Amino acid sequence: MKRFYRLAGGLALAGTASAALLLSDATTTGTGAAATSAIANWVSLGSPLQATAEEPMAAALAASISVERVPRDADSSNQAAWWVPIALAPDGTLYVAFDSPPASGAAGSHEVKIGKRDTSGTWTFAVLRNPDGTVWTEADDIGHKQPTIAVDGAGVLHVWADMHNLSDGMRYFRADAPGGMSFTRQTDIPATGLYTYPVAKRAPNGDVYLMIRSYDAVTYDGEGELFRWAMSGSSGNWSHVGTFAAANDAVVYPDDITFGSDGSVHLLWEWAKSLPRSLRHYGSYLRYSPTGGGWSYADGTAATLPVGLANAKLFFLPLQSGEVFTTDQMLKGLQSAKLALDDYNQPTIAYRYRPTDGSGDANFDVWRVRWSGTGWTSREKVYAASNNVPAALGISRTAAQVRVYFATTSEGLRQGLKTSTASGWTITDLAPGKAITRLATAPLSADTDIIYGAAPTDVNSTTGSVYLTQVTN
């Protein structure tokens, strides 16, 4: 089907020289690195303009970018890739969580601070506290003891923080009231054992789902668990949905969770060999239906829990040429992945992959792959690393575009944008001068994302910042 787009000054057929000319003549907005071309909305001739999962429509970038520093210092330990340290409440209130320098000044430790920005832009802050009222303080552990937050449908904030296979189980706090900033540690999640890597988000119906790894200190196996906070009026109750992934001599690493317009729950993770390791393999995707209680692979066939490494249908990234599922952490492999859905509730995934053995801790290229309805396709390299891509990603998409967020050690926060399968990826620096190395993404609307960017040491060697970058495409 031929596609036409209404641009500044007229109509042009996508992919033609006139389209390129009109794009080049579009109005320019912004300044410096944020300057981009703006165009009007696009239309087709004779029929409604329609996008498909297989062919995102070409649309020029009409971006506005703003950067705000959260007005409190962060601790240098505020670094992770699996985390969800940003959440939007149903009323538009924005929450962030971060490791914060301890008031005591004790070296090698941090507090957990919660920031709340209301719809007028006013910030308030609170810290997690022990039952006796003293401030919760924990030893630093980069990549392990960072916070995840989610806001339920009633506006109550849930917080997980500072747990990495510790004997006191889940470290879970909940606000005492909707919109409240007083938090109490809770024990009502039906779970006992050792837990780490909490990934939590709110479903469209207001429920909160928690994806987390449980760990066996005897066998060293790490299993994937899913829990649900089911809303009932203004409150809710926790239940264990299932152990979704387990395999002998393998360890699950949760990456992301998101939700379809039909209420489906989509999970993303990877596996390490034998023991917890920084290098992982076998990028995995699974879908859960709360209405029917069934689990399925990307192709819709039923999955029996827990899934393991035997069924190739599980993998969005199987072992690549020359890759080995082994304990060596310096070889080819995967580290970090994030997930978004198209209009048909099919997954699009961004991931980092190291293509060469022994080539560096940050030598992970940034890739995108999507499920077409029949297979994993459009596997494209967004950015080729030069040992300069830290372990954090974000992704969002619409019918018109796919947006992948990542950081590089010199440029900081960046966006890779693709507007059609015929074009390449456009890389834009989003926050020049901000030393952002870790990030998380929260879609604000179809066209606007808010990116939480951690700059762990941009104040001094032990103190950093959190920046919120709002991008409209």
Per-residue 3-state assignment (H helix, E strand, C coil) for 233-288: CCEEEEEEEEEEECCCCEEEEEEEEEECCCCCEEEEEEEEECCCCCCEEEEEEEEE
What's the rounded Cα separation, in Å, for the pair 451 and 470?
A: 6
Kindly state the average pLDDT of the residues 256-270. 98
What is the rounded radius of gyration, in angstroms, for the C-alpha atoms of the chain?
22
pLDDT in the model for residue 422: 58
Looking at the predicted structure, is the pLDDT value of residue 405 above 90? yes
Burial class (CB in 10 A: 0-12, 13-18, 19+), 457: middle
Looking at the predicted structure, is the pLDDT value of residue 319 above 70? yes
Whether 251 contacts 194, CB under 8 Å = no
Question: What does the block give as tokens for 155?
Answer: 């506006």
Whether 466 contacts 101, CB under 8 Å = no
Q: What is the mean pLDDT of the chain?
A: 87
User: Which pLDDT tens digit goes with each residue over 153-175?
Assistant: 999 999 999 999 999 999 999 99
Please report, rounded to a whole number, the percentage of residues in the chain having pLDDT higher than 90.
81
How many CB atoms are located within 10 Å of the residue 256 CB?
27
User: Which pLDDT tens digit goes with each residue over 332-369?
Assistant: 999 999 999 999 999 999 999 999 999 999 999 999 99
Question: What does the block give as tokens for 436?
Answer: 């952002």
What's the rounded Cα separation, in Å, for the pair 161 and 163?
A: 6
The CA–CA distances, whole Å, from 266 to 12, 80, 87, 238, 414 equal 38, 21, 18, 19, 26
pLDDT in the model for residue 60: 42
What's the rounded Cα separation, in Å, for the pair 177 and 439?
A: 28
pLDDT in the model for residue 43: 23
Please report, rounded to a whole number, the percentage of residues in the chain having pLDDT higher than 70.
86
Phi and psi, residue 277, nearest 5°: -145, 155
